[in-house]
Each structure stands twice: as structure tokens, then as C-alpha cells.
A and B are shown apart, each in its own frame.
Chain A
């Protein structure tokens, strides 16, 4: 028997809409669940005190510092490399085998699981180069992980700068580099910043790559060579070893809130940027 198309469509629509509703519900449920149990734990002292007794009491101050230090280290390394790559691909060359290889490399790097980055960072930075478990090892490992994101978003930002900007700049007698630094980069900046912030989110949430390269020391880090525990690692250890559920929820709430903040800022920036050129 053939179902009339209109009837079929009505039926399918109900099914698809309910599946969409379930998906959105599940995703929102996760955030709501964490925030409902975590927000009551949050207080100023939770954010500003160091953890005591392995995190059973006290706050999460040193893990916040650790997270920021690792993220800053990763950005300091990956941003120049990523933006440089994007400038080269977009301004200094044309589509060729070389650019295809570079893009393919970046795509592959983006797909590599974080645990492989962890293994690699452990053997190269921690063992072979002798940095030990440290902010340096962890930051470099994270830098490699976020490099593809920065390359791709910067490239998109550069590509969206109108062609006429380049033509005008060159016709006024600027060199290519003057054109890039004075015209292209300033116009593409919001787009590039978007990519950088997106990578901040990724660094904050990363666990597997960090735990084997930055270690899990709870002390406040004092130098690039100190081992340091990030918020995600702290949360993982608290939850997995059942040290303190309230503190685990509290840490998770801080994590989720910072990720949401990062994403909202990115989204806003991206929209302003897109509006500007369309």
C-alpha cells in the first residue's frame, strides 16, 4: 500500500522533530545537571583557596592557575605558528601540491586523539628532552593539539577579507608584507581572535593529553618547570577516586561555566565579523 506523500511527511516530521527535541534536551540536561549540583558549592573561597588533603577540602585556586598557565603557554606557541601558516597559505602562495600537503597535514593533526598527543608529549618532552612533568611539557603538547584549529580559523578569517582591500593596498605601492600587517591582519583580527578563543576552550577542557605531560601536582606552580594540575585533571581525579563529590561538582561547574563563556564570546565575535563582510 502506498502512503500518501502528505501523510508520510506529517508522520516523518513528528518523528524528526521529536528526535531533535530529545537531542537538545539531552545536551541541555548535562549542563543543567552539573550546574544545579555545582553552583551551590561555588564561593569566593572555593576559587581563591588552594586544595587541601588531596582536594577533599579547600578550593581549586592552584588548578585555576595551572589551567591558565598551560593555556597561555600553548597559545604563545601555537598562535604565531598557526597565523603564520594561514598567512602563507592565503597570501603568499597559490593552490598547489605544497598547499594541499600542508592542509592535509593540518586536517590529520586535527583528527589525532588527545591520548596520542599525551603519549607523544610524554616521550618527547617529559622523558627525552628532560622537561619532566611540567607546564612547559604540557603547554607544548597542547600547542600542537590546538595548532590545526588556529590554522583553519585564521585561514577562513583571511579569506573573508575582500579582494579589493589587497588591490588598493598594493596599488598604493605597499609591499606584500606591509599589505599583510597594515591592511589584512587588522581586518581579519576578529576572525583570528575567534579561533584563538576556541582553542582556549579546547585547552581548558583537555584531560588525557595534559595528565601525562603536566602531571597532577597540587602545589601552586612557580616556574615553567613545575608540574601542575589543571581543572579538568583535578575534576577527573576527584570524581574517579571518589575524593569529594561536592568539590568535584564545584570544579565541574567552574569548567562548564568557563567553556560556556568562551563559546559565547567566540560566537558573538564571529557574528560581528561575519556581518561586517557580508
Chain B
């Protein structure tokens, strides 16, 4: 074995090690969050955490149901508001717009994916919350406000991944449908959207992950009351806000309960990731096969 070979093998080994960095980080995060969060869940009963309605950390009552429902409601709201607009944009940009306009609009939309979430939250506070308070009544800090802001925040994610999915379709699909006399819209509705379905579904799931995981914007506009909201105008607290609001002063069991909140959030996100992954890999396999 020459010196060069030894060097090559050494480099290969080092690279293999770095290649496992992401997986190891993921593993370490999982271990730490679960190690900190699950003991209290088992000590006090998982049911109490998942279905308890009362969150009074001072009295040792840690019911997370209001926050779980809260997270689901604002996420659902965000999808209802954001997804139609996002899909409209994706269809317009890939099928109806001139290439020149697309080349301007797509970067503009992607540019806005980088706007920090605190800025979105702030706009929510100074523009949207007063508007809701004056138009619909209530405190303004509400499920509705959070859903609208999250709906806007998921736009760039859903738009750019859906555009990729639509553009990845073989041109023959489009040409075939048009050649048979279908209008552009019929082509979109009957051929392109159904064929790009798995990519679009993946984009929606990833947008959902972003909405579930968003923290700072939601804290600023959702009102944060730890109770199940009865109307869309009621304040709401999400899992993420629950952690961020109380982490700075929590200790002992209270802190453990916040990590338990993290565990639930983590599980939801991993389920969504796996679904998105399954959906987009089905697409990849379908294309190759």
C-alpha cells in the first residue's frame, strides 16, 4: 500500500464521519428532547398530558389539550387560507404567465421566504390585529389572526415546491392534452394537477410543518390564552408558544412539562416529515419506473 492510498483511505474515513453529522445531530436532538420530556409524562400519566384541559404549571397541572387543539386549529386555518392562493400562483406562474413575468415573480416570492418570522408577527400586530378587532370584534389577538399570518408565511414554501412539481412533468403531457384540443385550463385541471399530485401534496405537508412549528410570529398575534378557543375570534395558544412563553422562567417539573410539550411537537413534525418524504419519493419512483 502506497502513501497515497493511505491518505485516500484516511480522507474517505473522515468524509464518512462528517456525512453522518446530520443524522447524529438528529439522533442527539431526539434523545435529549425525549430524555427531558418523557419522564414526567409517564410519571403523571400520558393521558393527563394529552387530554387534560387545565394548564396551571404553578399548581402542577399540565393539561396540554388546549395547546394541541390550538396548534391544529391555526395550522388548519393557515392551510385553508394559504393553499388556494399558493396553488393559484403555482399554476399561473407555470402555465399562464409569460416566461418574462415568471422570471420576475418567482424570485420575488422566493425572496420573501427569507423574511424573518418576527417581522411577519409584527405586521400582524400593527396591521391585522387592529383590523380584526375593529371589523369583527373580540380582542383581535385570535385564531383568525394567527391563521392569516401563518397562511401568508407558508406561501413561499408551497408555491416553490408546487412549481417544481409542475415543471418536472414531462412536456409531452402538456403537448398531448393540448394537441387533443383541450384548453389550457382543461390541461391543468385534468392532466397536470393530477399528475403532479404527489409533489403538490408534499408541498402542502411541508407548509403544514412550517405552520405547526412557527413560534415567534404566533406568540405575537395569537393572544396565548391557554384555553380551547370556541370561536375563530378567541385567543389561542399553540404548542410552540407554550414552550417559548414559559421557558425563560420555568424550573423543575414545569420545565419538564415544557419539554413534554416539545416531545408532542416533535412527534407531530416527524409524522409530517415522513408523510412528505413518502409522498415525494413515490413521485420519484413513479418517474423512474
A residues near B, CB below 8 A? 5-6, 8-9, 12-13, 15-17, 19-20, 22-24, 26-28, 30-31, 33-34, 80-82, 84-85, 87-89, 92, 101-102, 104-109, 111-120, 122-124, 144, 147-148, 151, 175-177, 201-202, 204-208, 211-212, 232, 235-236, 239-240, 248, 252, 255-256, 259-260, 262-264, 267
Contacts and interface: CB of A to CB of B under 8 A. Distances in A.
Contacts, number: 242
Contact of B20 (A28, A33, A102): A102
Nearest to A235: B118
Interface string B170-202: 000000000000111110000000000000000
22 contacts: A5-B186, A12-B185, A23-B155, A24-B109, A85-B18, A85-B22, A88-B19, A89-B19, A92-B12, A102-B19, A109-B26, A117-B29, A147-B25, A205-B116, A205-B118, A208-B244, A212-B247, A235-B119, A239-B118, A255-B116, A255-B119, A267-B107
A89 B18 CA distance: 10
A113 B241 CA distance: 12
B261 to A, nearest CB: 9
A-B residue pairs, 6 tightest by C-beta = A113-B213, A205-B116, A84-B18, A105-B23, A19-B88, A88-B19
Contacts of A144: 25, 29
Given A104-B277, A267-B107, A113 B240 contact: yes
Chain B interface, DSSP helix/strand/loop, else mixed: helix
A213 to B, nearest CB: 11
Nearest to A112: B269
Nearest to B104: A24
A217 B276 CA distance: 39
Given A34-B123, A208-B244, A260-B111, A114 B270 contact: no
A19 B85 contact: yes
Contact of A107 (B93, B213, B273): B273
B51 interface: no
A73 to B, nearest CB: 16
Contacts of A81: 18, 21-22
Contacts of A105: 22-23, 25-26
Contacts of A205: 114-119
B212 A113 contact: yes
Contact of A13 (B185, B206, B213): B185
B76 interface: no
How many B residues touch the partner, as a band?
35 or more
Given A5-B182, A123-B36, 18 more contacts: A9-B183, A13-B185, A20-B92, A23-B85, A23-B88, A24-B89, A24-B109, A33-B123, A33-B127, A88-B19, A102-B19, A105-B25, A112-B266, A120-B29, A144-B29, A205-B114, A205-B118, A212-B247
B108 interface: yes
A260 B112 CA distance: 8
B273 A84 contact: no
Nearest to A37: B126
A255 B115 CA distance: 8
A147 B119 CA distance: 24
A26 B152 contact: yes
A44 B16 CA distance: 48
Contacts of A106: 22-23
Nearest to A263: B111
B4 interface: yes
Contacts of B16: 88, 92
Contacts of B115: 30-31, 205, 256, 259
